[in-house]
Amino acid sequence: MNRPEKKDLIDTAQAADEIGVSPETMARWRRAGYGPSFLQLGPSGRKKLYLRSEVRAWMARQMRRPEPTE
């Protein structure tokens, strides 16, 4: 994978805004192993960054077709 450019990286609040959820929901999803992939940086791993393209790709994968009901 090529090194992402700084402009392609967004923080948790920005990723949450892209998806339409709160940053707290993003943190809950990370702990549950759900949501878009992220980078964990720093000695303690406190800094979480997302690739904007990965957030958008994850959202596209969540699309579902309505199923007819009888």
Q: Tens digit of pLDDT per residue, the chain (70 long)?
A: 577 777 899 999 999 999 999 999 999 999 999 999 999 998 888 899 999 999 999 999 999 888 888 7
What residues does 35 pair with on adjacent strands? Answer: none
* Structure confidence at residue 1 (pLDDT): 57
Torsional class of 35: left (φ above 0), alpha (ψ -120 to 50), beta (otherwise): left
* Structure confidence at residue 68 (pLDDT): 85
Classify domain 7-61 at the CATH topology level.
Arc Repressor Mutant, subunit A (1.10.10)
CB 51 within 8 A of CB 2: no
* Structure confidence at residue 67 (pLDDT): 86
* Structure confidence at residue 7 (pLDDT): 81
